[in-house]
Amino acid sequence: MIENLNVSGMLANHKLSKSIADQGFYEFRRQLEYKCQWYGCELVAVDRFFPSSKTCSSCGHVQDMPLNIRTYDCPECG
């Protein structure tokens, strides 16, 4: 799953900024699509604010989670 990236936030990280500036995001996404086809997996592009950390990977149930909770325990499928 690919989410729209916070580029300005990533450029503030000095460890990522040079590689991000060198690599265009179009090329990055193109490479991901190619690798997914090569390995037979699915690339899903989602909105930047998609609640991926609040969504169960098995059943898709979405629950609100306060910031102090670090692990997701699904009430639907366990």
If one counts the domains in the chain, the total is 2
In terms of domains, do 43 and 67 share one?
A: no
In terms of domains, do 19 and 42 share one?
A: yes
What average pLDDT does the segment 33-50 reach? 86
In terms of domains, do 55 and 43 share one?
A: no
* pLDDT score, position 17: 65
- Assigned token pair, 17: 């900024």
How far is 59 from 57, CA to CA, in rounded Å? 6
- Assigned token pair, 64: 């609100």
In terms of domains, do 39 and 59 share one?
A: no
Give me the domain span that covers residue 74.
Answer: 51-78
In terms of domains, do 14 and 39 share one?
A: yes
In terms of domains, do 15 and 37 share one?
A: yes
Range scoring the smallest mean pLDDT among 5-14, 38-47, 51-60: 5-14
In terms of domains, do 43 and 12 share one?
A: yes
The pTM assigned to this predicted structure is 0.43
